[in-house]
Chain A
Amino acid sequence: MNVRKSVSQIVLMIILVLGLFIFAVPFIFMVSNSFEKFTFSLPFPPRLFPKEFVWDNYLEILNKQKICRYFFNSVVVTVLTTFFGVTLAALSAYGFARINFKGREPLFKIYLFTLMVPGVLNIIPQFAILNSLHLISTHQGLILLYVGTGICGTTFFLRGFMESVPKELDESVVMDGGSHWTIFSKILLPLSKPALATISVMMMQGTWDDYFTAKVILGSNEKLFTMPIMIQRLHGQHATKWGLVFAASILMLIPVIILYVISQKYFVVGGISEGGIKG
């Protein structure tokens, strides 16, 4: 019996490692080829590892292509979006979770409704609105749009979490003469830390990766571009400089991986699926 279990474990391991190979090959390819010396024609035969490892690509994107500026842009937009997005979501979620105000449920149903229709289809009127506010080609406009479109989902998630915090804890503040704000800041907010962390991670990854909205809103002002736009640019209509593309992609990928590894503690995966079904 024990032998059979060990054998099956080994077989599983082999299959999983093979599968891992399939999933990892594109990444290995990307990393190794970012060190490849690309000329105008692609290497033949195509190889997984370069003949010689050179730093040329990285040097070029740092100096000539000024990747730092775009990296910085991405960081600024992502951090500000996440900060304001999570703040507003926490406030909204508290309002829905703890204050039984008139129109609460119909309003929440409207929020849920907007989740069903993906917001990207609204990009044109959103563009028009930002245009009339003279916020096109600005970071502020982009951040505003990101935060606005993210509110419904994050509020929904946080509300579910906050409602699971026992109401008795509120009583202790109320008895001392506290207001809703005190309950919010002293009880609910600190207790919601895991959920807030989860939302922050989700917002950061979504904002960092976004190409479509950023491209549409920032369109013409190259100085403000974020990383995804820049990478897509490197892959132009004519000859694509693949070495630069891969090097820039690695740079864009590193923060994501770091964030993911750090967030392993907080990533409430089960919560996402439960929240989705019961909603």
Chain B
Amino acid sequence: MEKLSYAESTNMRYGRRRTRQELRTVAQALPFVLPGLILVCVFILYPMLKNIQISLSEYKIVEGKMDFVGFDNYKELFTEPQRRFWYAYRNNILYAVVTTPAIMLFGLIFAAMINSMKKNQVFFRTMYYLPVITSWIIVGLVFKYLFNGGNRGMVNYFIVDVLHLAPDYINWLKHEWTGNFVIWLLGIWKNIGWAMVIYLAGLQGIPNELYESAEIEGANAFQKFTKITFLLLRPTHFFLIVQLLIGSFNVFLQVLVLTGGDPQGRTSVLQYLLYDRSFSLFEFGQGAAIGLVTGISIFIVTVILNKFLRSEQ
């Protein structure tokens, strides 16, 4: 038998014990973690890889065949004459830029107001949260009804016949910018309550002593808000920004219900395009390509935001 140095022989003994211990922990964890892990692999990780494959192929669902076509799907997507992909991408970005500040601003204002109320806090909090828990389908359809073009829509009726603000009825959902406006409005309306509840939780974490000492130093309400409240809510601000920006890429149901991407894809968004391409036109390859591009975009946004967060802290 070889003569091992003391160090080597010790290492061998403990090394083997360590590996055995490691295996033992894995065996202990297996019954707990394995079922979930299998599902994650099958339904999340593997699809991510398969998405790449499908985006590079022409997937004929009926025959179950997948033919490799290289970057054709991407080319068709990016160079299509009607440029629907680019309009959709633009609309997602616009959605993010318009709705995120509005949601946060109003959420904060209402949270601050409710927080200052002595009584009825729970009542208002519950009522303002109602749009949040209502399904997008439902609120989308209600908004579609309210913004009906012509004189049957409540909004048109108010603007033209009651308040006489405009000369004629607006066909809200059939034009590019009014359509986008309604989509944004719906998004803002639905999510203010959510931001508000999160801000409320944040506000309640600010100790009262800070306000009291500020008052002693003669600060007025405005100063108390800007110098204490707003700054101490930083973590909440960041959390909301990240969630809302990522959520902006997920916009789908509003577009499906309200405009269907009309006119000509000018109000479309990425996820709607994915749905339309895949399940109306059966261009699964393009759908997968859209999915991939969207996923990468969100990932990049998340990484940038996280870096920004780290550097601020």
Contacts and interface: CB of A to CB of B under 8 A. Distances in A.
Tell whether A pairs with B.
yes
Interface in A165-219: 180-181, 184, 205, 208-209, 211-212, 216, 219
Contact of B253 (A208, A211, A216, A219): A211
A117 B138 contact: no
Interface in B133-180: 133-139, 141-146, 148, 151-154, 157, 161
A231 B144 CA distance: 14
A253 interface: yes
Contacts of B295: 117-118, 121
A15 to B, nearest CB: 7
Contacts of A95: 29, 32-33
Contacts of A91: 31-33, 35-36
Nearest to B197: A269
Contact of B124 (A20, A42, A45, A181): A20
Interface stretch (A26-34, A49-57, A62-70, A75-83): A26-34
Nearest to B186: A26
Contacts of B23: 102
A147 B303 CA distance: 27
A199 to B, nearest CB: 13
B230 interface: no
Given A46-B152, A88-B36, A92-B32, A277 B235 contact: yes
Given A209-B136, A269-B201, A270-B201, A123 B291 contact: yes
Nearest to B127: A20
Contacts of B129: 260
A269 B43 contact: no
Interface stretch (B6-14, B81-89, B93-101, B243-251): B243-251
Interface residues of B, number: 100
A114 B197 CA distance: 26
Given A102-B26, A110-B45, A124-B284, A242 B135 contact: no
A269 B198 contact: yes
Nearest to A212: B252
Nearest to B143: A26
Contacts of A276: 239, 242-243
A12 B113 contact: yes
A23 B142 contact: no
B184 interface: no
A179 to B, nearest CB: 8
A9 B26 contact: no
Interface in B171-218: 189, 192-193, 197-198, 200-202, 204-205
A121 B291 contact: yes
Interface in B27-51: 28-29, 31-33, 35-37, 39-40, 42-48, 50-51
A91 B238 CA distance: 31
A198 B60 CA distance: 42
Given A45-B157, A235-B141, A277-B238, A118 B250 contact: yes
A123 B197 CA distance: 31
B29 A99 contact: yes
Nearest to B296: A117
Nearest to B119: A9
Contacts of A19: 110, 128
B142 A30 contact: yes
B54 A125 contact: yes
Nearest to A234: B141
A185 to B, nearest CB: 11
7 A-B pairs with least C-beta separation: A95-B32, A148-B43, A125-B47, A121-B291, A125-B50, A148-B39, A95-B33
7 contacts: A23-B189, A95-B33, A110-B45, A249-B138, A249-B142, A256-B133, A277-B239
